[in-house]
Amino acid sequence: MKELLILGAGTAGTIMANRMRRRLDPVQWRIRVVDEHPTHFYQPGFLFLPFGIYEPEDIIRPKRRFMPSGVEYVEARAERIEPENNRVVLGDGRTLPYDVLIVATGTHPVPGQVEGMLGDDWGRRVFEFYTFDGARRLTEHLRQWRGGRLVVHVSEMPIKCPVAPLEFVFLADWWLQTQGLRDRTELVYVTPLSGAFTKPVASRVLGDLLERKRIQVVTDFAVARVDNERHRLVAWDDREVPYDLLVTVPPNFGAEVIERSGLGDEMNFVPTDRHTLQARGHDNIFVLGDATDLPTSKAGSVAHFEAEVLTENLLAFTRHQPLPARFDGHANCFVETGFHKAILLDFNYNLEPVPGRFPLPHLGPLRLLGESRLNHWGKMAFLWMYWHLLLPGRPIPFVRHQMSLAGKQIPAGALKPEMAG
Amino acid sequence: MPETTIAGHTVTVDEEGYLTNPSQWNPDIARALARDLGLELTDAHWKVLEFMRRDFQERGTVPGMRRLNKVGGFATKDLYTLFPDGPIKKAARIAGLPKPTSCV
């Protein structure tokens, strides 16, 4: 019997387990999924906990529930991948052989990578919302907030869901107004980038929005340390940003098993072919989701689109055929802007987010790179789609893995030529 | 792409003055670009520039700070001393590489 082994039962790994179980012959192929944590979090929901939009029970499910019958779920820590032996060694010493390995081990915040971030202020004045516990602690802290200087900060790129810190500051502006605290709160957004976002057209739109919402922006800020005594962020160029409450996005690293296996780059992301999703230098290892080093967003939508490409490529690989499918870097992100509105971004390797309609040209009903209430309700509806369509690997209506140019207003020069693998 | 003459060599540059073709680069150009930024290149600068050019050739992207630390062996503090304010942007410019983007 042949073995398909999947490391990680997050968004990417769960989708692949479901899709491949439907496509691979159960007599010939065993599918096993390894993950050490029992709980699946709807991670986009972490952002909403501090503002009371979601409660914990909305965003928590057991991981096992999303494993279809015919998939063996192994709750264990992956200690080491041994590509030369085609096997994975688990924390308890067991070894699992594979014919094909899918690495879907994700990324996580590592606050210890910034000097002083885990100092006395951590959990008192310094918080993060990229983990369930972090988001809950921040929720409790915000309930005590009576005003002051609230700083939202991105340590360095890349980070998971690069729009989330912007959404946080937009939602904070809205929430503080509903609490009657906005006039007593100075809101500051601190970023290592030269503008609000990584891509120029969207950066201008989002930058205007920050200005209209009276949110101060500090750009090109490369954080050197957190000064806990003076409650300040200090940059390498000696600029300082004081805070009463710091909501930071710590540096994001890939899984430690990648580092232990010598398969990653300097941040433990796996060098991956941009189009086929094959690990560079390892024919029978494929990578998807946040674990890759691909130059696109680390986001659930990306994992979802990659999963469609990877399904075709894996099936071809098992038949010793050339890999037919090409991933185009497609990402689709809702940006909550507060007051029941949101902006939708749709982009790929070659085209940055531009204005337009989605998913249907002219009809929409969603608006690209513009605020609308319907976008917000689209985002809210997505929670249901996530549990019921996305994780089980079922198609999302009208949305294809290849980004569509139809319905987009593309400024001159915005569409870049095809990039090499 | 606009053409310009740096240290007697004709090169193509982008709107912000970064060389668009790394193979047009040479040490004279580097020294001239450094002087524009108010820097006189020392051995310590050259070590950084050479690492960045080599790494770019191998991987096709300008190395980020973590890579300069971990793979290149350069401390962030030292890089800020050598290339004040924006070490990666400045060093990339002097090394004839594209403007670094944190592209996602």
At B101 the pLDDT is 72
Mean pLDDT of A355-381: 92
User: How far, in Å, CA of A54 to CA of A39, rounded?
Assistant: 17
pLDDT score recorded for residue B15: 86
CB neighbours of B46 closer than 8 A, spacing ≥ 6?
none
Q: Give the model confidence (pLDDT) of A21-36 as tens digits.
A: 999 999 999 999 999 9
Spatial separation of the C-alpha atoms in residues A209 and A207, rounded to whole Å: 5
At residue A421, the pLDDT reads 53
| Rounded Cα gap, residues A319 and A56, in angstroms | 44
| Residue at B96: amino acid letter | G
In angstroms, the CA A234 to CA B61 distance is 28
* Count of positions (residues) in chain A: 421
* Radius of gyration over every alpha carbon of chain B, rounded to an integer in angstroms: 13
Q: Which pLDDT band holds residue A400 (cuts at 50, 70, 90)?
A: confident
pLDDT of A102 strictly over 50? yes
Contact (CB<8Å) A266/B70: yes
Question: What mean pLDDT do residues A97-105 have?
Answer: 98
Instruction: Look at the alpha carbons of B17, A206, A160, A185 in this order and tell me if their dihedral is positive or negative.
Output: positive
How much is the average pLDDT of A401-410?
91
Round to whole Å and give the CA distance between B7 and B72: 29
Burial A50-86 (b: 16+ CB within 10 A, else e): bbeebeeeebebebeebbeeebebbeeebbebebeeb
Q: How many residues does chain B have?
A: 104
Tell me what the mean pLDDT of segment A110-133 comes to: 98
pLDDT higher for B50 or A198? B50
**CATH topology agreement for domains A2-108+253-318 and A110-251:** yes
* Mutate: best of A197, A265, A332, partner B, most B CBs <10 A: A265
The tens digit of pLDDT for each residue in A210-254 reads: 999 999 999 999 999 999 999 999 999 999 999 999 999 999 999
With contacts defined as CB-CB under 8 Å, which chain B residues touch A192?
Answer: 102
B80 closest CB neighbour out of A236, A267, A296: A236
Backbone phi and psi for residue B99, each to the nearest 5 degrees, phi listed first? -60, 125
Active site residues per annotation of B: 103
CA distance A221 to A114: 13
User: Residue A210 corresponds to which tokens in the numbers above?
Assistant: 């920050």
Residue A343 has pLDDT above 80, yes or no: yes
**Secondary structure (3-state) at A256:** helix
Whether the ω angle into residue A359 lies within 30 degrees of 0, i.e. cis, is yes
The pLDDT tens digits of the residues spanning A131-161 come to 999 999 999 999 999 999 999 999 999 999 9
Task: Give A183 to chain B, closest Cα distance, Å.
Answer: 34
The closest CB to that of B104, out of A162, A237, A266, belongs to: A162
Locate A54 and state its tokens: 């979601």
Please tell me the distance in Å from B8's CA to the nearest CA on chain A: 31
Per-residue pLDDT, B104: 44
Residue A420: its pLDDT value, please? Answer: 55
Q: How far is B103 from chain A (nearest CA, A)?
A: 6
Give the span between the Cα atoms of B83 and B91, in whole angstroms.
7
Statement: residue B103 has pLDDT above 70: no
Interchain CB distance below 8 Å, A198 and B103: yes
* B85 Cα to chain A: minimum distance (Å): 6
Q: Copy the structure tokens of residue A382.
A: 């997505």
Residue listed under structure tokens 């820097």 = B39
How far does Cα B22 stand from its chain's mean position?
10
For residues A191 and A221, the answer to whether their CB atoms sit within 8 Å is yes
pLDDT of residue B61: 87
- Report how far apart, in Å, the C-alpha atoms of B98 and of each of A92, A217, A274, B22 are: 47, 26, 20, 8
Q: Which residues of B touch A298 (CB under 8 A)?
A: 104
Cα A393 to chain centroid distance, Å, stands at 18
Give the pLDDT confidence of A375-392 residue by residue, as tens digits: 999 999 999 999 999 999
Class of A110-251 in CATH: alpha beta
**What pLDDT, on the 0 to 100 scale, is given for residue A395?**
86
Q: Does B75 touch chain A (CB under 8 A)?
A: no
Residue A419: the pLDDT is: 60
Q: What ipTM was reported for this prediction?
A: 0.86
Residues from chain A contacting residue B104 (CB–CB below 8 Å): 157-158, 162, 198, 295-298
| Cis? peptide before A365, omega within 30° of 0 | yes
What is the percentage of chain B residues whose pLDDT exceeds 70? 96
CB contact under 8 A, A296 and B104: yes
Which residue carries 């941009």 as its tokens? A274
Q: What φ, ψ does residue A87 adopt, rounded to 5°?
A: -150, 160
Say if B104 is an interface residue toward chain A (CB within 8 Å): yes
The domain limits of chain A are: 2-108+253-318, 110-251
User: Which of A198, A237, A298 minimises the CB distance to B102?
Assistant: A198
- Name the residue facing B103 among A220, A265, A295 (closest C-beta): A295
First-to-last CA distance in chain B? 25
pLDDT tens-digit readout, A201-212: 899 999 999 999
Q: CB B70 to CB A157 under 8 A?
A: no
Nearest CA in chain A to B100: A193
Q: Report the C-alpha gap between A148 and A126 in whole angstroms.
A: 14
Q: How many other β-carbons are positioned within 10 Å of the β-carbon of residue B75? A: 11
| Interaxial angle between packed helices A200-212 and A164-178, expressed in degrees from 0 to 180 and rounded to the nearest 10 | 20
- Name the residue facing B85 among A193, A237, A296 (closest C-beta): A237
Do A350 and A415 touch, CB atoms closer than 8 A?
Answer: yes
Could B67 and A162 be called an inter-chain contact, meaning their C-beta atoms sit closer than 8 Å? no
**pLDDT tens digits along B7-30:** 899 999 988 889 999 899 999 999
CB contact under 8 A, A158 and B102: yes
Choose among A317, A349, A324, A148: nearest CA to A231. A148
Quick check: B103 and A266 CB within 8 A?
A: no
Give me the mean pLDDT over the A173-190 stretch: 98
CA distance A295 to chain B (A): 6
Measured CA to CA in angstroms, residue A175 lies from A91, A169, A182, A322 at distances of: 44, 10, 8, 52
- A39-A42-A48-A54 Cα dihedral, nearest 10 degrees: -70
Candidates A358, A127, A147, A329; CA nearest to A246 is A127
Query: A235: closest CA among A251, A256, A213, A220?
Result: A220
User: How many of the other CB atoms lie within 10 Å of CB of B95?
Assistant: 27
Average of pLDDT values for A170-190?
A: 98
Range with the poorest average pLDDT among A101-110, A310-319, A347-356: A347-356
CATH for A2-108+253-318 is 3.50.50.60
pLDDT surpasses 90 at A266: yes
- Classify A321 as helix, strand or coil: coil
pLDDT band at A37 (very low <50, low <70, confident <90, very high): very high
Mean pLDDT of chain A: 95
